[in-house]
Structure 1
Amino acid sequence: MNQLILLTLLTCALALPCSALEAELQFYVKAGTETIKDLKLKKLNSEGIEALTKKRYTDAARIYSDFIQRAPQSPIGYANRGSAYNSLQRFEEASADYAKAVRLDPSLKKMIDPSKPLVDKAMSVIDEGDLDKAETLLTSAAKMNPKSAAAWNELAFIKSQKQDYPKCIELASKAIAIDGTNADALANRGGCRSGSGRYKEALADLDKAIALGRGQAESYLNRAGVNAALKKCTAAAADAAKAVSMAPSLKDAATRMLTGCGR
């Protein structure tokens, strides 16, 4: 997840596909195998499960494409081809397959979020610096799943980078309403409240983000800036030092954050 630094652009690592999700999907299709009457489909499904298990994702995608041709109304093919596409970082295709699987079998909502591949794709695009394209992807993800805290938070991050702080606060608040323990969303809202001069509210958000036990260097750095603005200079210096100890590359940004304390 991305967190705002008011003075620098934070890039993010690509969120790689989750092996736990693949395991859940494999469990699903293994259970579903009992309902497959066509012997060819049973064979394809077994081959597909083996390919996924051995991380031969290109083979798995091909096998489940064959499966879908034979059984276009079976969620099994779409669910596992989506898993293969996600592992191949073909995120938009994965999202489409997951959405189709969920439409065919609504019980799959418990283990599949069709919007997640779009969020993953958007995060990689943010890393490349194309915020407009990422925003388009995330808007689609949020429309697909309005309860995706990750989508709303990444949209908030993009707005923060465009210095649209009111919109950032609105979007981060949506993420927090869905998941009140989302430290990244709290940190982003805190950063944007700070950018809007709402320092006391910003401090409350950043305190909570750090207290959740997932305090990143960016959270400490932003809190240093807020404390400096509130003339809490001892606390500001401590937060700046903590941020630099976690990420030495933030040293110059930390120095700028403390200008309000005459440092």
Structure 2
Amino acid sequence: MSPFKILVVSAAGLAVAGVATVLTVGYVNSPARPEAEKAPTPASAAAPTLSAAEVKAAYDECVQKAFPTTADAAQRSAACSKALGSRQLQPAEVAMARLTRGVARTMLGDKVLASEDYLDAIRHYDQLINAANPDALNLFRRAAALDAVGLTDKALTDYSDAIKLDPNASLAFLNRGVLLATRKRAYDRAIQDFDRVLVLEPDNVDALIRRGDAFVQLGDFGRGMGDLDRAVSMAPENPLAYLMRGLAYGRRGNAMAALQNYDAALKYDPRNADALSNRAAIYLGQGQLDMAIRDLDLAISIDHTNPLAFYNRGYAHFAKKEYDKAISDYSSAIALNPQLGLAYNNRGLTRAIAGQDLVQALADCDTALKLMPINLDVRDTRGFIYLKLGDPALALNEYNAALDIDPNRALSLYGRGLAKIKNGDVAGGEADQRAAETINPEVAQQFSMYGLN
């Protein structure tokens, strides 16, 4: 018996990264300089006084003409901090510096401090935007900050209002499309936005990447791969193009092509946590556990807020029979995403196999069943735990529930056979076991290695 499901980071997990990759020249120009915003600073904590020229240089380095990437995030974050620390910026500049530093910190994996920057940027834009006469630029910027903190509906409204004011705002169309695809899974609507971007800018690589992924999500692999292949040919050093193409190949079951694309993404961005996590998922499927753990260790060191990386590392540790480490990783995944039902199921299974608190193991499975009421893996795990607890009647109920839906599940058949035998129905139990072994000759070994014969 093994834990269930290896998970990959889907395109939905890339929304914040999308903000950083698509906010380019047209909508990130430095604002005009009205009266400077200053905040009282205790004398003991006062930063060294900077000249106006030094403040301008730091601010210009902070905002530049595009938002930060992984390559310049540390430098840009430091420049933003220097400019903000001067207390000499006016409100519009503070908003822009905060937004830019938020993106830089996101690139660096510090999502807590990034969130503080985004929220402060939103507060400033709320004051800067005149509801009676808004401008597209500040609406766009506020939408980016709202999107980054997960305020999807408000971000959508701001992007849409920016588009109404400026129908040629390609970046607003692009970011709205990314948001629709990643947050709402409204792929048809997203494709319409990406189409508009490509009318305005036929060689926009980001729009090609995102439209390609949206087509793949809708099952149109041909058009999706056409876009992704073109994006790679146009921008052969763009890691996102390879990452998305890897995801597309993965959905088609072509693990080798997916692996090649993740390798390419990591060649150009060695600290791309999503590419590392997804390459690790392929390694797990191939049984290369140490290589998977190596990638996941690095991915988690870069971004310790990704529950799927912890989940998959837990899967790897389980496979190595490192049960304490597996339980710890599943617990971390649950802390980051309490709705991750598979993590509860696998933690419960691991606890049961390790003989660690069977009652708590059952509680984990109860939670998993509430989150995934029709998941047959959970039924198998609950049946296994009831057998370990010495309650074959309740185990029988679980296995019957699974077999009512899928009569040919080898694990459920063999488990039901054990439950029947322990309940006194030896002939019926042995018949179930023979049927299970016909489907999966190794099923008996899966139970016996964890103490159930």
The TM-score normalised by the length of structure 2 is 0.43
Distance (Å, rounded) in 2 between the aligned partners of 1:214 and 1:155 = 25
Distance (Å, rounded) in 2 between the aligned partners of 1:25 and 1:84 = 15
Q: How far 1:245 moved relative to its partner?
A: 3.8
Deviations 1:51-78 (A, max 9, x none): 653533122023124xx7xxxxxxxx66
Deviations 1:59-115 (A, max 9, x none): 2023124xx7xxxxxxxx665565456546312443566787xxxxxxxxxxxxx42
Structure 1 residues 256 and 137: alpha-carbon distance in aligned structure 2, compared to 1, 3 A threshold: farther
Q: Is 2:53 the partner of 1:61?
A: no
Residue 148 of structure 1: aligned partner: 306
Instruction: State percent identity of aligned pairs.
Output: 19
Residue 24 of structure 2: aligned partner: 32
Residue 191 of structure 1: aligned partner: 349
Q: Is 2:405 the partner of 1:249?
A: no
Task: List aligned pairs for 1:225-236, cutoff 5 A.
Answer: 225-236=384-395
Structure 1 residues 219 and 81: alpha-carbon distance in aligned structure 2, compared to 1, 3 A threshold: closer
Distance (Å, rounded) in 2 between the aligned partners of 1:78 and 1:161 = 30
Q: How far 1:207 moved relative to its partner?
A: 0.4
RMSD over aligned Cα, in angstroms? 3.6
Structure scoring higher RCO (CA < 8 A, sep ≥ 6) equals: 1
The answer as to whether partners of 2:396 and 2:416 remain within 8 angstroms in 1 is no
Structure 2 residue runs of 5 or longer lacking an equivalent are 29-64, 66-199, 212-222, 250-257, 430-453
Residue 72 of structure 1: aligned partner: none
Structure 1 residue runs of 5 or longer lacking an equivalent are 1-6, 69-76, 101-113
Q: Is 2:286 the partner of 1:94?
A: no
Q: Is 2:279 the partner of 1:121?
A: yes
Counterpart amino acid of residue 202 in structure 1 = A
Q: How far 1:213 moved relative to its partner?
A: 2.7
Distance (Å, rounded) in 1 between the aligned partners of 2:295 and 2:301 = 10
Q: How far 1:125 moved relative to its partner?
A: 2.0
Q: How far 1:154 moved relative to its partner?
A: 1.0
Match of 2:382 among 208, 223, 245: 223
Task: List aligned pairs for 1:103-118, cutoff 5 A.
Answer: 114-118=272-276
Residue 238 of structure 1: aligned partner: 397
Deviations 1:184-215 (A, max 9, x none): 11111101110122210100101001111355
Counterpart amino acid of residue 349 in structure 2 = G
The answer as to whether partners of 2:209 and 2:244 remain within 8 angstroms in 1 is no
The answer as to whether partners of 1:223 and 1:239 remain within 8 angstroms in 2 is yes
Counterpart amino acid of residue 265 in structure 2 = A
Q: How far 1:253 moved relative to its partner?
A: 4.0
Residue 289 of structure 2: aligned partner: 131
Counterpart amino acid of residue 32 in structure 1 = T
Deviations 1:19-61 (A, max 9, x none): 7858x949963x5352599xxxx96842663465353312202
Max Rg structure: 2
Distance (Å, rounded) in 2 between the aligned partners of 1:222 and 1:257 = 14
Residue 163 of structure 1: aligned partner: 321
